[in-house]
Amino acid sequence: MDLDTAASYAEILGLVTILGAAIYSWFQIKELRRSRDSTTAMSLAANFQDEDFVVGLTAIMNMDFDATEYQHSDHKANVEAFQEQCGEDWPKVMRVLTTWESIGVLIHRGDMDFHAFYDLFSGVIIKTYETFSFFFEPIRENGDDKNMEWFLWLADRVIEFEKEGSGTPPAHIVFADWRPPKRVP
């Protein structure tokens, strides 16, 4: 074998090696994303293990507010009325709201999967927004108010997702025929 032939084979081997490394890297990146999404889903689900979060969420789901008590132009009075209406559950309700705020930022930055969040929390995020809309609408209307900005952004994304027809019906309906795969002995 002459030197030119050996050099040609070395170039081909180098190209195959580089191509193989690129393909392997692509699969590794895909697996890392899957792993990240799984970790994200688990961390989202862990909120249901936190007593304060569960109490706050339960309080939100069962609250009936009289929106006439709130004045559209007096944010401070609205916060005080809001706090009074929540009573001793106020810190826990705020924990839920600040969790939604944090999740909004993470989803926007691509650090959390929207679909995992949607599957776990779409119903309660909409309920939270609707329950407190009297409080959030004045914030939304004031272009300079950054209070709960990422919660509002997140609620908008969930509502838009459902309006576009991309959302799913409740799991107990849409997946009624689902069965777990058989175990292989």
Show me where the domains of the chain are located.
1-44, 50-170
159 falls in which pLDDT band (50, 70, 90)? very high
Q: Rounded to whole angstroms, what are the CA distances from 150 to 21, 26, 97, 105, 165?
A: 40, 32, 10, 6, 23
pTM of this structure: 0.70
- Tell me, rounded to whole angstroms, the distance of Cα 112 from its chain centroid: 6
Q: Whole-number mean pLDDT of the chain?
A: 82
CA dist., res. 117 & res. 93, Å (int): 19
pLDDT for position 104: 92
CA distance 70 to 87: 16
User: Percent of the chain having pLDDT more than 90?
Assistant: 10
Of all helices (H) and strands (E), which one includes residue 127?
Answer: helix 114-131
**Whether the predicted pLDDT of 26 surpasses 90:** no
* Mean pLDDT in residue range 14-35: 82
154 neighbors 160 (Cβ within 8 angstroms): no
pLDDT given for residue 157 in this prediction? 93
Residue % of the chain over a pLDDT of 70: 89
Q: How far apart are CA 125 and CA 127, in angstroms?
A: 5
Q: How far apart are CA 21 and CA 15, in angstroms?
A: 10
pLDDT of residue 153: 92
| Cα separations in angstroms, 53 against 27, 32, 169 | 37, 29, 25
Please give the full DSSP string across 14-80, using - where no structure is assigned: HHHHHHHHHHHHHHHHHHHHHHHHHHHHHHHHHGGG-HHHHHHHHHHHT----GGGS-TT-HHHHHH
Give per-residue pLDDT as tens, 56-112: 988 888 887 766 666 666 777 777 877 888 889 999 999 999 888 988 988 898 888
Distances (CA, A) of 101 to 106, 150, 156, 162: 9, 5, 12, 20
Of 52-56, 62-66, 116-120, 158-162, which gets the smallest average pLDDT?
62-66
Q: What confidence tier does 158 reach under pLDDT thresholds 50, 70, 90?
A: very high
- Contact of 139 with 145, CB cutoff 8 Å: yes
Mean local confidence (pLDDT), 166-180:
83
